[in-house]
């Protein structure tokens, strides 16, 4: 039996959850009602479970085998059974499915994704949406990133790359005009990730490195009210613009203290504004601890927690 998923963050702007976006965190926006007896495994929960267990170095072969068997030959109709709308559902499925997708599955999913592309190269969230000329592309950064990654998974060329690069470059250029007053939110990370993927030698990336300094990023970690999404975003921006540059020891100590304070007795992690465990907050906390080389306590408890989540996902 599937359990009702709890979402920790309110919608921000069009579909963002927190002021600082985290790529994974936004996926919860696409929730929709589900049949408790759905035959398709909950790819949202299972994705995080498998990633967490991989971070811990504790693989679950039986779980992985069950997931692969369940997802084999799944198509668009099957996606209606889970608590996600099509685009993020396909993204999660492509991340969880290890085997090479069948030709039928690849054609069905890529055809849907390609149908979302607009004249300027951006991808909208749902069929029927249209991005008007001159319209702000910010609400479509996330869907565009998902679409690009799905097409890459199926080795499908990305059409209208020139137009897409121009749209993304113009948006970044506009944001960089704010200089030191620029807010380091998830939109910036999305823009950078898309641009680095499509045009890693883009000249505007050098301007971004000069405008968004390492000091600017580090200071943002010391805000009184923090979120796991903000920290994931800041770490992502630093990795893209200043790869290899270490954070100072004060920041590292601060991050370690705050993250460990979020861990509960059952090994799972809560969001700062909540006292309840969640698979997403657990994933984000462990991801940050892994990247910062922070020791992860209560690994056996975490394994038990994730196994319970996985079992409830079938």
User: Taking the domains of the chain in order of start, what are their residue ranges?
Assistant: 25-311
| Model pLDDT for residues 17-51, shown as the tens digit of each residue | 333 334 444 444 333 334 444 489 999 999 999 99
Residue 14 has pLDDT above 50, yes or no: no
| CA-based radius of gyration for the chain | 19
Average pLDDT in the 8-25 region? Answer: 34
Q: Summarize the chain as % helix, strand, coil (round to 5).
A: 55, 5, 40
**5: closest CA among 84, 68, 75?**
84
Average pLDDT in the 90-118 region? Answer: 93
How far is the C-alpha of 86 from the C-alpha of 83, rounded, in Å?
10
| Model pLDDT for residues 212-251, shown as the tens digit of each residue | 999 999 999 998 888 999 999 999 999 999 999 999 999 9
Question: Percentage of the chain with pLDDT > 70?
Answer: 88
For residue 72, the model assigns a pLDDT of 86
Lowest model confidence (mean pLDDT) among 1-15, 134-148, 254-268, 271-285: 1-15
Q: Sorting pLDDT into bands at 50, 70 and 90, what band is 99?
A: confident
How far is the C-alpha of 250 from the C-alpha of 148, rounded, in Å?
37
204/132: higher pLDDT:
204
Which CATH number is associated with domain 25-311? 1.50.10
Q: Is 68 exposed, middle or buried (0-12, 13-18, 19+ CB in 10 A)?
A: middle
Average pLDDT in the 109-128 region? Answer: 96
Residue 209 has pLDDT above 80, yes or no: yes
Residue 162 has pLDDT above 50, yes or no: yes
Is the distance from CB of 208 to CB of 192 less than 8 angstroms? yes
Residue 113 has pLDDT above 50, yes or no: yes
For residue 107, the model assigns a pLDDT of 94
For residue 22, the model assigns a pLDDT of 41
How far is the C-alpha of 88 from the C-alpha of 43, rounded, in Å?
10
Half-sphere exposure of 237 (CA within 13 A, CB side): 31
Is the distance from CB of 204 to CB of 171 less than 8 angstroms? no
Q: Sorting pLDDT into bands at 50, 70 and 90, what band is 101?
A: confident
* Average pLDDT of every residue of the chain: 87
Is the distance from CB of 123 to CB of 139 less than 8 angstroms? no
Question: Percentage of the chain with pLDDT > 90?
Answer: 75
Residue 202 has pLDDT above 80, yes or no: yes
5/299: higher pLDDT:
299
Q: Sorting pLDDT into bands at 50, 70 and 90, what band is 98?
A: confident
Residue 52 has pLDDT above 60, yes or no: yes
For residue 82, the model assigns a pLDDT of 84
Is the distance from CB of 77 to CB of 38 less than 8 angstroms? no
For residue 156, the model assigns a pLDDT of 95
Average pLDDT in the 72-100 region? Answer: 90
Residue 8 has pLDDT above 60, yes or no: no
């Amino acid at each position: 039996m599937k359990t009702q998923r709890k979402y920790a963050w309110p919608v921000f702007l069009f579909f963002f959850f927190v002021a600082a976006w985290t790529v994974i965190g936004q996926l919860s926006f696409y929730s929709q009602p589900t049949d408790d007896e759905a035959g398709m495994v909950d790819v949202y929960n299972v994705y995080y479970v498998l990633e967490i267990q991989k971070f811990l170095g504790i693989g679950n072969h039986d779980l992985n085998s069950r997931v692969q068997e369940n997802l084999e030959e799944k198509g668009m109709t099957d996606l209606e059974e889970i608590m996600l709308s099509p685009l993020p559902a396909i993204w999660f499925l492509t991340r969880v499915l290890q085997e090479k997708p069948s030709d039928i599955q690849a054609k069905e999913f890529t055809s849907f994704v390609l149908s979302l592309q607009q004249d300027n190269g951006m991808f909208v969230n749902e069929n029927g949406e249209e991005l008007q000329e001159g319209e702000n592309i910010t609400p479509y950064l996330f869907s565009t990133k998902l679409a690009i990654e799905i097409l890459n998974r199926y080795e499908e060329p990305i059409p209208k790359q020139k137009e897409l690069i121009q749209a993304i470059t113009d948006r970044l250029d506009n944001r960089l005009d704010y200089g030191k007053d620029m807010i380091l939110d998830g939109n910036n990370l999305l823009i950078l990730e898309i641009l680095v993927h499509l045009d890693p030698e883009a000249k505007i990336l050098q301007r971004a490195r000069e405008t968004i300094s390492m000091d600017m990023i580090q200071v943002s970690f010391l805000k009184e009210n923090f979120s796991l999404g903000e920290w994931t975003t800041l770490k992502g921006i630093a990795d893209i613009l200043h790869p290899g540059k270490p954070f100072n020891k004060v920041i590292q100590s601060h991050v370690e203290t705050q993250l460990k304070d979020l861990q509960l007795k059952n090994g799972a992690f809560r969001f700062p504004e909540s006292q309840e465990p969640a698979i997403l907050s657990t994933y984000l906390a462990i991801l940050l601890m892994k990247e910062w080389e922070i020791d992860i306590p209560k690994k056996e408890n975490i394994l038990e927690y994730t196994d319970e989540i996985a079992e409830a996902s079938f």
